[in-house]
Amino acid sequence: MLNLLGEQLLNGIVTGSVYAIVAVGMTMTFGVLRVINFAHGEYFMVGTFASWFVIEKFDLGYPQSVVFAVALTALLAIVVGYFLMRKMVGAPFENGVLATLGVSLILQNLAVALFGGSYKFFNGGYIEPVELFGYGLAQQRILIVIVCVLVFIGLDLMVTYSRMGKSMRAVSQNIECCEIVGIDVQSVVLWTFVIGASLAGLSGVLTAPVNVSVYGGMGELITFKTLPIIIMGGLGNVRGTLIAAMILGIAESFVAGFIGLQFRDSVGFVTLILMLMWRPHGLFSLQSRF
Amino acid sequence: MDKSELVISDLRAGYGSLDILNGIDLDVGKGEFVALMGPNGAGKSTLLKTLFGQTTIKSGSILWQGGNIAGLHPREILSRGVSYVPQGRCNFPLMTVDENLQVAAFTIADDKVLSDRDYVYELFPALQARRSTLAGNMSGGEQQLLEMAMAVLQRPKILLVDEPSVGLSPTAIGVVFEELQRIHANGHTILLVEQNTKKAMAVASRAIILRLGKVIWDGAPADITHDELGELFLTGRMAKEDASMP
């Protein structure tokens, strides 16, 4: 029993790390733009597809495919960000919902049109098990947790000390005032979105060796897992997102292990409802935003 | 006083189809401290917003140091040395005073920021002690000082200040006006919109009165009494002018 408990906890931390890397991009985009990006999971899908494609067609190694996947996702995000996301500054809330849902449909169907609707097998990554605290764990899962820790340390440093990070905080705290001090809000929105989408792509390609299946609709589920996380974490809050993602990852893992796998995907929204009954403003309110 | 740096001619502007400024003609010389006054709805704040590129301009021109800045983007206007301190709170509440100043200085070169911040702390000693405090945790008066400091850090050639006394205690208002005088003494041109006419007249070198979107009086504060000012606000004319009229 104790053995199973530890194993589920480790699994939960790995799942939480995946969610955290995806969700942080969505929460940062919300922070500067006040738009829920319903297409966020699609960048996770694009990253996975890009990596799968170059491994299958060009026989590239997994590390090279990661670089390619993140670069391609970033490029796509620059295009979408330039022509769409930055134009959402000051637009009514529903514009953001419709536009990002539209992007989501386009990207999903583009993947199906280009590569077919069937499930693909992802053949890459480091799936050899290693022993950790007495549990067997695939190397890839350890890699995911390490990357998650590095991403969050990097983001924290960026948001606290860099010019870009300070501009992001400025836009999220008082967008009207940014014009007065000369911050280019559209440019901040564009680059925040590109960082966020690239992280989603990175998360996708990191998870692919563990999930092994690649398909056009895979991003949708990720978007809907991300939503409760960013709400629990306090919209726009980077550190809160990490903790909320871990809570959800571990809760899912325990439900899957002890109650039943079929209930796993409902955990996010059930946890969200319970948490909102207890703390309507999210687990972490304004004080530690960004 | 040098020759006019800012020349506004027949300026008509407002919000969308609504016109607030109905033909403003105004010159401001280098180093002047101008107080813009007038009743509610006269277009004082709109004039400052228009100078900073935040309204719709219908016609007229705003010549700033020889170039027309009418209709330019605020960032472009800022880079030409025009800084604006709007009415109400305009800072980043969850950043420290120091961080607010850093963000405000993004328009100037990065390596200059450090020395310029020291200059601003000398000019605003009250902020020096609060440099690690979150802006949102400070009093209204301190936040107003911070916002003026943010504008001064941009090394403006002219400072547009909108109603700095709103919502402040009498003591805080005193400090804010002292600070404005100090900024002016350091060589900045100031265009101040203020409801507190007594305070404004005491510090300004020139007073301009707006009513219904036009300039109706322009002169030295010493040349107008408070009663006359009140009359201008209410009727748009002065009694002695009426008496002298045929």
Q: What is this model's ipTM?
A: 0.85
Q: How far is B106 from chain A (nearest CA, A)?
A: 7
Tell me what pLDDT residue A287 has. 47
Q: Give B54's contacts in chain A (Cβ within 8 Å).
A: 179
Whether the predicted pLDDT of B27 surpasses 70: yes
CATH number of the domain that residue A66 is part of: 1.10.3470
Region label for A21, one of left (φ > 0), alpha (ψ between -120 and 50) or beta (otherwise): alpha
pLDDT digits 0-9 by tens, A166-192: 999 999 999 999 989 999 999 999 999
d(CA B246, CA B242) in angstroms, rounded, equals: 8
Q: Give B154's contacts in chain A (Cβ within 8 Å).
A: 181-182
Q: Is there a contact between A177 and B106 if contact means CB atoms under 8 Å apart?
A: no
d(CA B229, CA B241) in angstroms, rounded, equals: 13
Identify from B45, B54, B94 which residue to disrupt to test chain A contact, counting A C-beta atoms within 10 A and taking the largest count: B94
Nearest by CB to A166, which of B54, B79, B102? B102
pLDDT digits 0-9 by tens, A195-211: 999 999 999 999 999 98
- Once rounded to an integer, what is the mean pLDDT over residues B232-244? 68
DSSP readout, chain A? -HHHHHHHHHHHHHHHHHHHHHHHHHHHHHHHH----TTHHHHHHHHHHHHHHHHHHH---HHHHHHHHHHHHHHHHHHHHHHTGGGGTT--HHHHHHHHHHHHHHHHHHHHHHH-SS-EE---S---EEEETTEEEEHHHHHHHHHHHHHHHHHHHHHHHSHHHHHHHHHHH-HHHHHHHT--HHHHHHHHHHHHHHHHHHHHHHHHHHH-EE-TTHHHHHHHHHHHHHHHT-TT-HHHHHHHHHHHHHHHHHIIIII-GGGGGGHHHHHHHHHHHH-TT-SS-GGG--
Identify from B106, B110, B132, B155 which residue to disrupt to test chain A contact, counting A C-beta atoms within 10 A and taking the largest count: B106
Tell me what pLDDT residue B1 has. 46
pLDDT digits 0-9 by tens, A253-263: 999 988 988 88
Q: How far is B55 from chain A (nearest CA, A)?
A: 13
Q: SS3 letters for B182-208? A: HHHHCCCEEEEECCCHHHHHHHCCEEE
**Interface residue B79 vs chain A (CB under 8 A):** yes
Sheet holding B56-64, edge to edge: B18-29, B4-15, B56-64, B67-68
Closest CA to A9 of A233, A265, A257, A260: A257
- Once rounded to an integer, what is the mean pLDDT over residues B70-88? 91
Tell me what pLDDT residue B172 has. 87
Residue B162: which H helix or E strand, with range?
Answer: strand B158-162
Contacts of A4 (CB under 8 A, 6+ apart): A257, A258
d(CA A103, CA A35) in angstroms, rounded, equals: 13
Q: Is there a contact between B74 and A183 if contact means CB atoms under 8 Å apart?
A: no
Q: Is there a contact between A167 and B106 if contact means CB atoms under 8 Å apart?
A: yes
Nearest by CB to A183, which of B84, B91, B106? B106
**Interface residue B111 vs chain A (CB under 8 A):** no
Number of domains in chain A: 1
Q: What are phi and psi of B192, to 5 degrees?
A: -115, 130
Domain that holds residue A22: 2-288
- Once rounded to an integer, what is the mean pLDDT over residues B151-171? 89
Whether the predicted pLDDT of B242 surpasses 60: no
Q: How confident is the model at residue A235 (pLDDT cuts 50, 70, 90)?
A: confident
The upper half-sphere exposure of residue A6, i.e. CA atoms within 13 Å in the direction of its Cβ, equals 9
Tell me what pLDDT residue B241 has. 54
Domains of chain B: 4-244 (3.40.50.300)
Closest CA to A266 of A221, A217, A214, A212: A221
Whether the predicted pLDDT of B246 surpasses 80: no
Render the burial of A228-256: b for 16+ CB within 10 Å, e for the rest: bbbbbbbbbbbbbbbbbbbbbbbbbbbbb
Q: Give B106's contacts in chain A (Cβ within 8 Å).
A: 163, 167, 181-183
Q: Are B161 and B114 in contact (CB under 8 A)?
A: no
Other beta carbons within 10 angstroms of residue B35's beta carbon come to 25
Other beta carbons within 10 angstroms of residue B15's beta carbon come to 12
CA nearest A167 in B: which residue?
A: B103
Tell me what pLDDT residue B109 has. 62
Q: Are A71 and A201 in contact (CB under 8 A)?
A: no
Alpha helix stretches (DSSP H) within B4-91: 44-51, 74-79
**Interface residue B88 vs chain A (CB under 8 A):** no
pLDDT digits 0-9 by tens, A114-162: 999 899 999 988 888 888 777 888 899 999 999 999 999 999 999 999 9
- Once rounded to an integer, what is the mean pLDDT over residues A33-39? 93
Q: Helix or strand or coil: residue B25?
A: strand
Nearest by CB to B92, which of A177, A182, A286? A177
Q: How far is B178 from chain A (nearest CA, A)?
A: 23
CA nearest B93 in A: which residue?
A: A173
Nearest by CB to B103, which of A170, A184, A290? A170
d(CA A220, CA A218) in angstroms, rounded, equals: 6
Q: Give A166's contacts in chain B (Cβ within 8 Å).
A: 95, 99, 102-103
Q: How far apart are the first and last CA of chain A?
A: 39
Tell me what pLDDT residue A139 has. 92
Whether the predicted pLDDT of A268 surpasses 90: no
Nearest by CB to B94, which of A173, A176, A180? A173
Q: Is there a contact between A290 and B94 if contact means CB atoms under 8 Å apart?
A: yes
